[in-house]
A and B are shown apart, each in its own frame.
Chain A
Amino acid sequence: MSRVDKSMSLAGGPPVAMKTGQKVGTLLGLFGLGILTLATFNVSLPNQGLWLALALLSIGGGILVYSKSLYKDTLPGIKNHGVWLKSVSSRGFWAWVAGIALTGFYIVLYFFAELLGQGSGGAENTGLIGLFDPLSYALKGQPASQWFVYGTLYTLAILAFGIKFIWKYRHNSYEKIRTGSVMFFQTVFAFLIPEIMARLNGDLPYYDLKNVWPLNYYLFDQWNVDGLLINGSFGLTLLIWGIASILVITPILTYRYGKRWYCSWVCGCGGLAETAGDSFRQLSDKSRSAWRVERWVVHSVLVFAVVTTTGVIHSYLGDGSQYWFSRGTFLIAVGVVLTLLFGLIWKYKRHELKKDARYGAIGYLVIILALIGLHFSAASDNLLIFQTHEVRSTYGFLIGSVFSGVIGTGFYPIFGNRVWCRMGCPMAAILGLQQRLFSKFRITTNGGQCISCGNCSTYCEMGIDVRAYAQKGANIVRASCVGCGICSAVCPRGVLKLENTDTQGRINSNDVLLGNDVDLMDLVNQR
């Protein structure tokens, strides 16, 4: 390939060049974004409601027109032509432009909301946020906030790109139904219900029912818990729902279906990644070194989340008169639960864990227990050696903002669409541990049919080297797999199937594959 510059030689031709419809769609979308940009710079737009509607319709409509043109003349089937030839999906110039623009948007959103026109101290909203006021009043009877603007655009992206995705995978029922599901949960649970609940009951903190702790890292913060509790039994129900979500519902569903029930069917972060991020799934890093980094980072985040949440709750519990627990009981309870958990894993699943995972588990357990012990001896108001609220705000800043938003989404076009889910999400880490150790879910490999082509690995957004398993006839049982089903969809030989069945024989590995001499298979594969 050295002699030809691909992008040049391809210029103007399929599958890289845009068709007319795609260009129209792009222009329409840019027009919508243009309105939002004008509003951001406080160009006064009369009749805000109309302009807002125009902007949102143009963006959504642009995406649809683009997609229709892209897929309308094609037969149902895999649509990856030109993915690595196009600049935007192969870390080319346009990918960097998009990445920088998105990242810039997130930085402003998280740290400089006043630039978007957030009115502070009772002042009215202006600019972009002001433009969204009519919609916000209509839904919840309050002025918009930066989060309302973000939530609206986020939902719009999931809906419009979700339709694109369904077009793209129209031959694949699993993908269609799954995408319908993320579109539904985003629109109804993350967007409509919380806003409507807020309308009905102004004091209730925003609560996305499907947002489970530790992904919802502020669930147990004092302001949130108090906010829920002052709303009497309704708030209490929500709080109990929150606790049951992580302790009861999550383990059961993950046991039956794998973590996909959450990560690629329900979750909003996953929803954006699967729809708006779909064009970037091939950019995830599949190297062994990336896998090593991933395991350390994501499990560290989980530990960090557990520690800070414990610390936060601990810091406001007091002596037990205000809430039901005292600090002491709470810490002891946490310690007992964690010890039990690790004890059980250690007893039953030790042999299934790779060596380093084992070290990691032991190491972290020791740290947590030691630090809690430390606290008892010091008997101060600090958790560990830090001020609790500092740890907490560091967590919110690092994980909640920088990781999930700025890097997680802003860098879609560079690192792929699931960096956050893979490296930074504590919820994914918990579900992953459950999926790896206690679940019926696996991806079954179809005997000896794999031709090692690499499509599955390339299009795995979680950076799992699916082929490494498939080509030795092994099922894929990986903590990080979100069950998006794309590896199975793109496999040209029908080798992969996502399944929930017997836990017996779930983890396997064959040196000699099906199809060869039976005696040889027996000889080599029995160990």
Chain B
Amino acid sequence: MLLTLSTTDRSTNSPKMEHIVIIGNGISGITTARHIRKLSDHKITVISAETDHFFSRTALMYIYMGHMKYEHTKPYEDWFWKENRIDLKRGFVESVNTAQKSLQFADGSSMNYDKLVLATGSKPNKFGWPGQDLDGVQGLYSKQDLDALEVNAPNNKVCQRAVIVGGGLIGIELAEMLSTRGIPVTFLVREESFWNGVLPSGESAMINRHIVSHHIDLRLGSNLREILADENGRARAVVIDETGEELACDLVGLTAGVSPNIDFLKDSGIELGRGIKVNRLLETSAKDVYAIGDCAEQREAIGNRRPIEAVWYTGRMMGETLAQTLCGNPTEYKPGHWFNSAKFFDIEYQTYGWVFSDRNKADHEQHFHWAHEDDTKCITVAYHKDSRLFLGINTFGIRMRHEVFDRWLTEGRDVDYVMSHLKQANFDPEFFAHFENNINQAFAAQLQTA
């Protein structure tokens, strides 16, 4: 681990020392705490009901697959917190009293705050399916979920088939996880093609094929009707809505998206929507209470972004921003160009700027799609039909540079410039085959036919 955070450059030190309490030790809460410590001497307490220390939620799958142990997923060593005077408290906050500025814990104790940061993350969606609370039915979000999975599906003898409901990023991770233990997986995806609410059709179709090549029983256009119980109240089978087919299974993974984890705030008087309503300063309706990360809901969406952005990066960015505000330098949350990434089994995916799915794209958004014949690499470039302004890129199986696309988006480059400079954006390891020439030939051919 690297250096201790320095407290010497307190450019924006506020005079009074305050007690800043952060509920949630995920990426958003921890980023806030680290930055407050860099900027000030405020007393900082981070509360979590989940784990003693910050760990990387995005790495949960690697623990089950045996790539890492839980310890490896902690981004900071345990000494870090004490050395940087960030107090950690394990406990579940049952309610918040904004008038008295106090928190009540499940164990009956309480704590006062001067400023409160809500960074409570998400919980898996459950859509009222019959049987959704049976044993052997679970989501994949928390460390506890992972522990449960280790009980429900330790190997392919205890778990002879798993059914996953919901074709998103967590669903496909769960499918990969289970398949590494030789557990047959049936993957129910509501859409006609995997994640096609986000991905353009060419990409989505490629991922469909890739999922199948990993021996996953992919069922597109399939919904869950109900989960059936055995005599012990454990899930024994699911029924598929469209066909009425009954599928025997030992585990049902519910991965149909997440929603903000805010039930404990119901009576707090803080204004809630689907998430905790915040303005651009990340302030909630209650004085000295802020919300960031997965649980925050912007009153007005920012640009093309959704009001609730449940991704790692936005949690971090909100944390970086809020720390400024809390240390006397009020700063609006102004995220830059959109970017994201994921991995579908063996295929890496990165996106910069906006590329919308066929379903969601506007009329002016034109796509250029290139696919490699090995069916593991493709890109889609989005641009404005008339002005030819470059809007964004999705890239699969080819790594590209964030910094270069961010710059091109800021400079307002047109698609022709981007295509002819694509080499500059390549981020694949040395000696990897390059495809810019093929891509540009295909692009030129498309222009001629268009």
B408 lies within 8 A of chain A by Cβ:
no
| B9–A527 CB distance below 8 A | yes
Does A517 lie within 8 Å of B335, measured CB to CB? yes
Q: Are A520 and B320 in contact (CB under 8 A)?
A: yes
A residues near B345, Cβ cutoff 8 Å: 75, 77
Q: Which residues of A contact B346 (CB under 8 A)?
A: 75-78, 171
**Contact between A82 and B320 (Cβ–Cβ < 8 Å)?**
no
Name the A residues within 8 Å of B35 (CB-CB).
511
Residues of B within 8 A of A14 (CB): 156, 180-182
The SS class assigned to the B binding surface is loop
- Does A515 count as interface, using CB distance less than 8 angstroms? yes
Indicate if the CB atoms of B59 and A453 lie closer than 8 Å: yes
- Is B214's CB under 8 angstroms from A75's CB? yes
* Most chain B C-beta atoms within 10 Å of own C-beta, residue among A2, A78, A446, A455: A446
B56 in contact with A81 (CB, 8 Å) = no
Known contacts A80-B67, A465-B2, A1 near B317 by CB under 8 Å: no
Known: A173-B433, A454-B72, A515-B336. A520 touches B155 (CB 8 A): no
Determine whether the beta carbon of A447 is less than 8 Å from that of B213: no
Across the interface, which residues of B come within 8 angstroms of A78, CB to CB? 67, 346
Closest to B350 in A: A494
Q: Which residue of A lies closest to B320 (CB)?
A: A512
- B317 touching A497 by the CB < 8 A rule? no
Q: For the complex, is B421 an interface residue (Cβ under 8 Å from A)?
A: no
A75 to B332 CA separation, bound complex (whole angstroms)? 46
* A443 → chain B closest CB, angstroms: 10
Cβ of B313: which chain A residues have Cβ within 8 Å of it? Answer: 448-449, 515
Contact at B156–A520, with CB atoms within 8 Å? no
Looking at A5-13, A28-36, A58-66, A233-241, the stretch in contact with chain B turns out to be A5-13
Report the separation of the CA atoms of residues A11 and B181 in the bound assembly, to the nearest whole angstrom: 11
Q: Of B68, B74, B336, which contacts A517 at CB under 8 A?
A: B336
Determine whether the beta carbon of B406 is less than 8 Å from that of A498.
Answer: no
Per the bound structure, the CA–CA distance linking A13 and B153 in Å amounts to 11
Near A by CB (< 8 A), chain B positions 30-58 give 35, 38, 56, 58
Are the C-beta atoms of A492 and B432 separated by less than 8 Å? Answer: no
Of B86-94, B383-391, B423-431, the stretch lying at the interface with chain A is B423-431
- Whether A516 contacts B180 in the complex (CB less than 8 A), given A80-B66, A454-B72, comes out as no
Q: Which residues of A contact B59 (CB under 8 A)?
A: 451-455
Q: Is the CB of A514 within 8 A of B155?
A: no
Q: A453-B58, A468-B1, A515-B317 are in contact. Are A447 and B336 (CB under 8 A)?
A: no
* Minimum CB–CB distance for A517 against chain B, Å: 4
Shortest distance between the CB of B166 and any CB in chain A (Å): 21
- Chain A neighbourhood of B333, CB < 8 A: 517
Contacts of A287 in B (CB 8 A): 1, 77
CB distance from A257 to the nearest CB of B (A): 10
Do A15 and B181 touch across chains, with their CB atoms under 8 A apart?
A: yes
Whether A454 contacts B399 by the Cβ 8 Å rule is no
From the candidates B320, B339, B402, B429, name the one contacting A173 in the complex (CB within 8 A).
Answer: B429
CB of B154 within 8 A of chain A? Answer: yes
Is the Cβ of A455 less than 8 Å from the Cβ of B67?
yes
Residue in A452, A515, A520 whose beta carbon sits within 8 Å of that of B331 in the complex: A520
- Please indicate the chain A residues that have their CB under 8 angstroms from the CB of B214 in the complex: 75
Q: In the complex, what residues of A have CB within 8 A of residue B77's CB?
A: 287-288
Indicate if A177 sits at the interface (CB-CB under 8 A): yes
Q: Confirm or deny: B142 has a beta carbon within 8 angstroms of a beta carbon on chain A.
A: no
Closest A residue, CB atoms, query B4:
A288
Query: How far, in Å, is A451 (CB) from chain B's closest CB?
Result: 4
Determine which residue in A286, A485, A512, A516 has the highest number of CB atoms from chain B within 10 A of its CB, and name it.
Answer: A516
Contact A449 B66 (CB under 8 A): no
Whether A497 lies near B427 (C-beta < 8 A) is: yes
Is A513 located at the chain interface by the 8 A CB criterion? Answer: yes
**Which residues of A (189-248) have their CB < 8 Å from a CB of B?**
none
Question: A514 with B154: in contact, given A13-B182, A14-B181, A82-B180 (CB under 8 Å)?
Answer: no
Knowing A451-B312, A455-B62, A518-B336, the reply to whether A488 touches B343 (Cβ < 8 A) is: no
Q: Determine if B68 and A516 form an interchain contact, defined as CB atoms under 8 angstroms apart.
A: no
In the complex, the chain B residue whose C-beta lies closest to that of A494 is B399
Write out the residue numbers on chain B whose beta carbons fall within 8 Å of the beta carbon of A86.
66
Q: Is residue B337 within 8 Å, beta carbon to beta carbon, of the partner chain?
A: yes
Query: For B68, B79, B348, which residue has the most chain A Cβ atoms within 10 angstroms?
Result: B68
Chain A residues bordering chain B, tally (CB within 8 A):
71
Report the Cα distance A82→B65, complex, angstroms.
6
A518 to B334, CA, bound (A): 8
Nearest residue, chain A, Cβ from B402: A447
- Which parts of A75-115 form the interface with B (CB within 8 Å)? 75-78, 80-86
Question: Does A174 touch B at the CB level, under 8 Å?
Answer: yes
Asked if B343 and A458 make an inter-chain contact with CB atoms under 8 angstroms apart, the answer reads no
Contacts of A26 on B, CB cut-off 8 Å? none
Q: Is B111 an interface residue (CB 8 A)?
A: no
Q: Given A75-B213, A485-B429, A516-B335: A455 and B68 within 8 A (CB)?
A: yes
In the bound complex, do residue B56 and residue A453 qualify as a contact, i.e. CB atoms below 8 Å apart?
yes
Is B25 in contact with chain A by the CB < 8 A criterion? no
Residues of B within 8 A of A2 (CB): 147
Q: Point out the residues of chain A lying under 8 angstroms from B180, CB to CB.
A: 14-15, 81-82
Chain A 477-499: CB-based contact to B (< 8 A → 1; otherwise 0): 00000000100111011100111
A515 touches B67 (CB 8 A): no
Cα of A11 to Cα of B394 in the assembled complex, Å: 41
Q: How far is the CB of B52 from chain A (nearest CB, A)?
A: 14
Cross-interface CB contact of A81 among B67, B73, B348, cutoff 8 Å: B67
CB distance from B35 to the nearest CB of A (A): 7
The answer to whether A1 and B70 have CB atoms under 8 Å apart is yes
How many Å lie between the Cα of A519 and that of B321 in the bound state?
A: 11
Assess whether B336 is in contact with A9, with CB atoms less than 8 Å apart.
no
A457 within 8 A of B: yes
* Shortest distance between the CB of A492 and any CB in chain B (Å): 4
Determine if A3 and B58 form an interchain contact, defined as CB atoms under 8 angstroms apart. no
Query: Which residues of chain B come closer than 8 Å to A75, judged between CB atoms?
Result: 213-214, 345-346
Complex CA–CA separation, A446 to B339 (angstroms): 12
Interface string of B107-119 (1 = CB under 8 A from A): 0000000000000
At the interface, yes or no: A4 with Cβ under 8 Å from chain B?
Answer: yes
Contact present for B66 and A498 (CB under 8 Å) = no
The verdict on A259 contacting chain B, using a C-beta distance below 8 Å, is no
CB-nearest residue of chain B to A9: B154
B150 contacts partner chain A, Cβ-Cβ < 8 Å: yes
Instruction: Give min CB distance, B326 to chain A, whole Å.
Output: 14
A502 to B181: give the CA distance in the assembly, Å.
45
Considering the chains assembled together, what is the distance between the CA atoms of A173 and B317 in angstroms? Answer: 35
Specify the chain A residue showing the minimal Cβ separation from B405: A447
Question: Does B151 sit at the interface, judged by CB under 8 A?
Answer: yes
- Please tell me if B324 contacts chain A, counting CB pairs below 8 Å: yes
Q: At the interface, yes or no: B157 with Cβ under 8 Å from chain A?
A: yes
Residues from chain A with Cβ under 8 Å of B154 in the complex: 4, 6, 9-10
Are A494's CB and B427's CB within 8 A? yes
Once A468-B1, A520-B321 are accepted as A-B contacts, the answer to whether A15 and B66 lie under 8 Å apart by CB is: yes
Cβ proximity bits B234-271 to A, threshold 8 Å, 1 near / 0 not:
00000000000000000000000000000000000000
Which of B77, B158, B410 is packed against the most chain A CB atoms within 10 Å?
B77
> Which residues in A have their C-beta under 8 angstroms from that of B348?
492-494
| Cβ contact of A492, chosen from B73, B147, B331, B343, cutoff 8 A | B343
A310 interface residue per 8 A CB criterion: no
Known: A75-B346, A76-B346, A465-B2. A494 touches B341 (CB 8 A): yes
For the complex, is A471 an interface residue (Cβ under 8 Å from B)?
yes
Of the residues B9, B321, B331, B403, contact of A514 by C-beta under 8 Å: B403
Residue among A83, A499, A524 with the highest chain B CB neighbour number at 10 A: A524
Measured CB to CB, the closest approach of chain A to B282, in angstroms, equals: 12
Give 18 A-B contacts (CB < 8 Å), ordered by A residue: A15-B65, A75-B214, A75-B345, A76-B346, A78-B67, A286-B1, A288-B79, A448-B339, A451-B341, A452-B75, A458-B67, A465-B1, A468-B75, A512-B320, A513-B317, A515-B336, A517-B333, A517-B334
Extra pairs beyond A449-B350, A454-B68 (5, CB < 8 Å): A81-B66, A83-B66, A288-B79, A451-B59, A513-B317
Give me the 3 closest cross-chain CB pairs, A-B, nearest first: A447-B402, A77-B346, A13-B155
